[in-house]
Structure 1
């Protein structure tokens, strides 16, 4: 993979911030967009703008072909069996909430358990808290190991024959932990539970095969993989989706509407009420084309090198604490002694370096780590070792600056 040529496809990277060349290390929050995606969305609005599934005129047919064509690109990208299993929505949060409100409330009772982990994003905690409150079910947590991983032995002890749902991130947005989803799915299924996977941090970086993982639901967001904001995907096994009721009602998702009752369209459209996110889906299709042309294996190989290099460089800085396992996704979460993460981020920004600071929508994990906030540098296919060097140099400057400030 030629990173220089890849970077040329991202026009936003060719700029200065505060007088320095931009180093963008916040891709876990949102990834930058390649020209191919920008042009796909632009061309839709310039040449094909129309609603889908409704008109028989030329523009309507063209827009529908592009929209449904994007759905098939997603199907192939994650190796789903059918486009009926691919539901477009606003993002990972929406996808998980659909499963919680539809499958969860339909299938969970007061005698049941829902199992999650302390490393989950709020989007994969709060929906299950709400299901537990409404049904009386017990919410349980798989404990974390000291390095931020989970052991399969702990999974086996936590998941029981009372467990109805196991909900877990494929990749932690804070620790970079890559969870063994296939093995966890097997344990869940042996106990009669379904597994819901938060794929927000995995779909952009790993080659995903939902059939091989044997996950029941898998949700991810387009904007973290180079697509526009506001578009996401919920994958669900067709036999489960068929039994679930929609959670949004209105146009597009209906079959027949009578005065006092209505029937729903077949999958996947019964879960896509209202005018869909047409331009976003087309942009997602273009992003998938872009990533597929490079090759997900090549992206992963590049990011593994970056993660290893980042751990090595940042470990050299005295007073810097790194959280998470050695084998991880391409992100590093850390704290500098006696310097608040927001101050770290602010000083780095003066050097043109963009990182994240805060609790990362993971306050349960922050409490587990005994911190209120952390700083996070997250890499993607357009980042280089030079970016990591700039980060390390910026952190040394930050440390020196606050070491010389009189409090």
Structure 2
């Protein structure tokens, strides 16, 4: 109960809109998740109900805590998740550290799918759903699962119902063994494989590059991790005529890396704003200590480009720094999160400010559009074609 109390007051004290928030909404979301957990486990309580709340955060907590009593530990954890989910904020979450494993990380090795929107299922996804990335040497790779393989069913659950994505499909991936019905686009063959979780070898994110025709350089940046900007700049030390920067699948990272990398393409530009609940917004600006490359910039994006990746993409678009190719970004950029340690060792991540684009536009839940639509298909992945790069080369 003490951890739930901590989380409740932490949201009210530290979330960017916490001081103006109706505390009754937090407790309503918490109790809804608590009772749902009890019902799923056949342990609902006849006398458990939400007490009359007044909007005073202290007296409401006392009434809420009295209604729960000692509380069921697992249901209390569900209540924290429910309370945080009730914020409807893609950068607010509760993280419980996993116990250390002597064997290292485990999983199936399937780490990317076409229907991803940031870390969630994209409600706007169109069929088919296909695998975009498989870790080398993983159980999935050993089962001959490849990028481009179409996911027809997961544990017998269809990935699409008609042309609407099954938003609960992620739940079907839970468990030590997953059964996949796959269709290979190059042959049309359909097969079902069972994949048991096993040890995974995860490599640290790396910047990769290669030359392209016409004096251009292709650079893939998987995330805005610490040092990422300098690694990209080092890959471009020859100052190529054009840069095709691939941000597809880039889940975000550090805002500082965004402003530093943008500094290689422009100086004196506002890249975004961080805004408190009340008062003036703080502009973020290009890092003008970075020497200009003088290269033309083309950026490849997709629905898995989220957070800092969208920060970069919006800055490129709004400041006319380059051309965007691919698909609209995820729209998962509410604001950068700060971590708050709770008494059980878990961490509550909450944005202290909200993000706006350089034109003070809201990007969160909407995403950044592209200049040229060039989505990757299952057959493209299976055959090694890249419509984004092909479009970039046509523009060059």
TM class by smaller structure: under 0.3
Structure with the greater relative contact order (CA < 8 A, sep ≥ 6): 1 or 2?
Answer: 1
Please identify which structure carries the higher strand content: 2
Larger Rg: 2
